[in-house]
């Protein structure tokens, strides 16, 4: 699935996939492509993971604008792991999983969003924490 915290982008991509699936008859396993399954908002996905790491079964996740990941999964909760740590903890519970992070520099615009350098350091720490699991 493709995850983004950009609500308008999520809606446009969902609609585009659904429209092209209906218009062109694109089918995967005899099912019309459902944009709501393939493209999702980051916040509900993250809430599911915070409730239970086993709540989601996806094996391939593309995280858009990952450099804007929050340094805490829940800014109001203390202590709270970073969003990247939450994703790595989730993947460690899966038999198989791929996490693709799409990043760019200088785009942290909200409080608690990481800059690229901090994001890379946090990702390194999250991966190292999974060694041996």
pLDDT above 80 for 15? yes
pTM value is 0.72
Q: What is the mean pLDDT of the chain?
A: 79
Across the range 101-112, mean pLDDT stands at 67
Across the range 58-72, mean pLDDT stands at 77
Q: What is the pLDDT of residue 2?
A: 92
- For residue 104, the tally of other CB atoms under 10 A from its CB is 10
Residue with tokens 């615009």: 109
pLDDT above 70 for 116? yes
Distances (CA, A) of 71 to 38, 46, 83, 88, 92: 26, 14, 7, 14, 19
Q: How confident is the model at residue 120 (pLDDT cuts 50, 70, 90)?
A: confident
CB-based contact 101:66 (threshold 8 Å): yes
**Rounded-to-integer distance, Cα 66 and Cα 123, Å:** 10
Closest CA to 86 of 36, 47, 58: 47
């Amino acid at each position: 699935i493709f995850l983004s915290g950009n609500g308008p982008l999520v809606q446009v991509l969902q609609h585009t996939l659904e429209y092209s699936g209906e218009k062109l008859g694109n089918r995967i396993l005899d099912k019309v492509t459902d944009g709501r399954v393939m493209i999702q908002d980051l916040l509900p996905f993250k809430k599911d993971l915070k409730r239970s790491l086993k709540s989601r079964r996806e094996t391939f996740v593309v995280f858009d604008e990952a450099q804007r990941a929050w340094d805490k999964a829940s800014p109001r909760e203390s202590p709270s792991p970073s969003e990247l740590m939450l994703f790595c903890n989730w993947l460690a519970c899966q038999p198989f999983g791929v996490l693709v992070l799409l990043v760019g520099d200088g785009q942290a615009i909200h409080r608690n969003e990481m800059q690229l350098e901090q994001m890379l350091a946090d990702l390194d720490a999250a991966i190292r924490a999974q060694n041996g699991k």
